[in-house]
Structure 1
Amino acid sequence: MTSLDWAIFVVYFVVILSFALYQSRNNEGVEGYFLGNRRMPWWAIGLSVMATQASAITFIGTTGQAFDDGMEFVQFYLALPFAMVVLCIVFVPIFYRARVFTAYEYLEQRFDGKTRALTGFLFLVSRGMGAGIILYAPAIVLSVILGWDERITILIMALVTVAYTMVGGITAVIWTDVVQMLMVFGGIAVTLLALFANLPEGVGVGDAVYIGGIQEMWRSVDLSWDPTNTYTLWSDLFGGFFLFLAYFGTDQSQVQRYLTATSLKDSRLSLILTAFLKVPMQVLILSIGVLLFVFYHFEEPPLVFSPAEVAAVEESSRAEDFRALEVEQARVHSQRRAATLELLEDRDRGADVAGSRSVIEEYDNQLREIRADAKILVSEVRGTASNDVNYVFPTYIINFIPTGLLGLLIAVIFAAAMSSLDSEITALSSATVMDFYRRWFRPDATDDHYLRVSRLATGF
């Protein structure tokens, strides 16, 4: 990264912290800290809900998944609008009218204190472990990009996120999520434009779409009933529907968001906004992965994208086997590149391209087999399965994104990680204080006391 990239990166953190502190200046008491005094605008809540779910793993891992498998994963999100409609009709009115701080507080009203305590405890355990994954997974990839020790990356993300969350509470979290979500949208747009700009001269958007279609990478819907297929429309609609109901309807990190709205109508609007923005966003993120697949028809890709896996193999007794696969990949890739350019020329002239398509399909299949053999080799050397999908997108931005934009995209990855982490922190602290500390230990303390304890719980 250049000085300009670092400057953009630092400015991002300064802006996030300043904006969070400014927006939270009017919070009053523990209700202001955990629920923003129930005065947040619906569109900000909706973007915050999206930011909570769209972690750095989504931005990094989903592109890598589409690079290997195409667009079919988008079927999973098609159930989201249906689940949101049910939530708006059934769940949201119950929580909003109960005037609760947490989803589990309602369970005491409906059942008893033991039920509330049990569900709150299960949430704390599961989300506490999940918060660690939210930090650790992107830190591994970011450490490779930045050349840092992963512990430093984790520390920076954690300290900045805890700082603005501890001071500003849910108001700071929602408004920083808005900024971070807008940055994610901007990062998607920048990446798509960069991918098209980096294609060879004479290869346009239509050509890129056409090349991706040769291997049906753009196919988004599988109507089959084959249970061996990972993603089909029917399994994803059914499974996704109930998963989204559970996540958005019972998880405190989501329920807390729409409890901050000024009215029941605004709570519902925030979820509807999420439902109808999330699917297009996911389509665009997956499209980046497919376009990377197209891009590497013209630029030779690494045989394995994970630097750690490559280093492990090169230091082993199987290094010669790995180098032989690299040589074979380079040979087949060169042939595929020439065949792809020839196909596009024939297509522009209106000539028959059926034969050229078959040739490219054969080269694609050969390269898939070579890559599969390389991953088997890595697995044998390391003793664990090779999984380099999280490195496909970072490898591209390091090598092909110009100065300035690289700093922006690194900031976007940090933003995606932090927007999920801050939501987990506020949800964990609200459940700790309201479902346990206030309910079982200090039920008669002052509002100022609960506010101090809430900040301490957030920092802890």
Structure 2
Amino acid sequence: MTIDMLVVLAYFFFLIAIGWMFRKFTTSTSDYFRGGGKMLWWMVRATAFMTQFSAWTFTGAAGRAFSDGFVVVVLFLANAFGYLMNYLYFAPRFRQLRVVTAIEAIRQRFGKTSEQFFTWAGMPDSLISAGIWLNGLAIFVSAVFDIPMETTIIVTGTVLVIMSVTGGSWAVVASDFMQMIVIMAVTITCAIAAYFYGGGIGNIIDKFHGNFMLGNDLNYVSIFVLWVVFIFVKQFGVMNNSINAYRYLCAKDSENAKKAAALACILMVVVPINLVFTALVCKRIYA
């Protein structure tokens, strides 16, 4: 067993331990679903930021940056725009809903029928999305560690279920915070190393094969501009609705919700750019 495998296994045990340690924090429905509304901004920031990250970020997004340059950053800038709108308007108002779950707000506003419809209608999409994320992770793990994809999906899914069921929202937010720390440390370190190894930002951009800003094989710039506009509109809707308000229901108060949104906005700009920058240097080395 390699050191890499030991690190992964240790992390899995750590996640299970988080759920076990935080089980005593969950004494009511409010504690389980939103931490009793007692979490500070730096904890809420982590879960708000990590909800927009998945295995695809480090595989699909990095691969797109490798082939097409800066264009993939538009997706993350759209996320940052969504968080900016959270900060300016929506985050404190989401916190002021005074509900335990986001779906409860739908019940209060539109009635029980709408609540049931949104609950059941959203389940297939949630299951498919989770399956896609796990499948992306399994593909990467299979290539790096030579572990069957089915094993990765089953083990990872089981660990996450155990952690979330035993520890509730406290355990989930704590694990999100640890993941955020790891991601920041890895991406910033790699970006610094890539900067010096690649000879600076200007040198890397000059050596890029193709159009650095628009990507390759683009026939009409107007199509790209239209895509950017609609990506921003889409992410604004995705990140500023009552269904996704759960990330701010955990906050201690409206001010903590605003701070969490502001920091998530900053991280959504810094971390993806570091990731893309590293991918571009890798293209110079291996392409």
- Partners of 2:85 and 2:240 within 8 A in 1: no
The AA in structure 2 aligned to 1:261 is: A
C-alpha distance 204-79 of structure 1, shift in aligned 2 (>3 A) = closer
C-alpha distance 288-211 of structure 1, shift in aligned 2 (>3 A) = closer
Whole-Å separation in 2 of the counterparts to 1:115 and 1:152: 38
C-alpha distance 43-240 of structure 1, shift in aligned 2 (>3 A) = farther
Partner of 1:163: 162
Q: Once the 2 structures are TM-superposed, how far is the Cα of residue 93 of structure 1 from its aligned partner? A: 4.1
- Partners of 2:191 and 2:275 within 8 A in 1: no
Of structures 1 and 2, the one with the larger relative CO (CA 8 A, separation 6+) is 2
Partner of 1:137: 136
Q: Once the 2 structures are TM-superposed, how far is the Cα of residue 115 of structure 1 from its aligned partner? A: 1.9
Q: Once the 2 structures are TM-superposed, how far is the Cα of residue 211 of structure 1 from its aligned partner? A: 4.5
Q: Once the 2 structures are TM-superposed, how far is the Cα of residue 177 of structure 1 from its aligned partner? A: 0.7
Partner of 2:263: 273
- Partners of 1:44 and 1:178 within 8 A in 2: yes
Q: Larger deviation: 171-180 or 43-52?
A: 43-52
Whole-Å separation in 2 of the counterparts to 1:189 and 1:99: 38
Partner of 2:147: 148
Partner of 2:104: 105
- Partners of 1:36 and 1:170 within 8 A in 2: yes
Normalized against structure 2, the TM-score is what?
0.87
Partner of 2:71: 72
Whole-Å separation in 1 of the counterparts to 2:24 and 2:12: 19
Residue 44 (structure 2) pairs with residue 45 (structure 1): yes
Q: Which has the larger radius of gyration?
A: 1
- Partners of 1:73 and 1:220 within 8 A in 2: no
Identity fraction in percent: 23
Residue 209 (structure 2) pairs with residue 210 (structure 1): no
Structure 2: 5+ residue stretches without partners: none
Q: Once the 2 structures are TM-superposed, how far is the Cα of residue 246 of structure 1 from its aligned partner? A: 2.4
- Partners of 1:258 and 1:267 within 8 A in 2: yes
Computed over aligned residues only, the root mean square deviation of the Cα atoms, in angstroms, reads: 2.7
Residue 192 (structure 2) pairs with residue 226 (structure 1): no
Q: Once the 2 structures are TM-superposed, how far is the Cα of residue 226 of structure 1 from its aligned partner? A: 2.4
The AA in structure 1 aligned to 2:21 is: Y
SS in 2 for 1:98: coil
The AA in structure 2 aligned to 1:78 is: L
C-alpha distance 62-54 of structure 1, shift in aligned 2 (>3 A) = same
Partner of 1:244: 235
Whole-Å separation in 1 of the counterparts to 2:171 and 2:109: 31
Whole-Å separation in 2 of the counterparts to 1:258 and 1:13: 27
User: Hey, which bits of structure 1, 4+ residues long, moved more than 6 A?
Assistant: none
- Partners of 1:87 and 1:249 within 8 A in 2: yes
Whole-Å separation in 2 of the counterparts to 1:3 and 1:204: 28
Deviations 1:128-149 (A, max 9, x none): 2211111112212211221121
C-alpha distance 89-184 of structure 1, shift in aligned 2 (>3 A) = closer
Whole-Å separation in 1 of the counterparts to 2:253 and 2:201: 46
Partner of 1:289: 279
Structure 1: 5+ residue stretches without partners: 197-202, 302-460
Deviations 1:168-189 (A, max 9, x none): 0111000001101111122224
The AA in structure 2 aligned to 1:116 is: E
Q: Once the 2 structures are TM-superposed, how far is the Cα of residue 271 of structure 1 from its aligned partner? A: 1.3
Q: Larger deviation: 5-14 or 38-47?
A: 5-14
The AA in structure 2 aligned to 1:227 is: S
- How many residues align? The count is 284
The AA in structure 2 aligned to 1:226 is: V
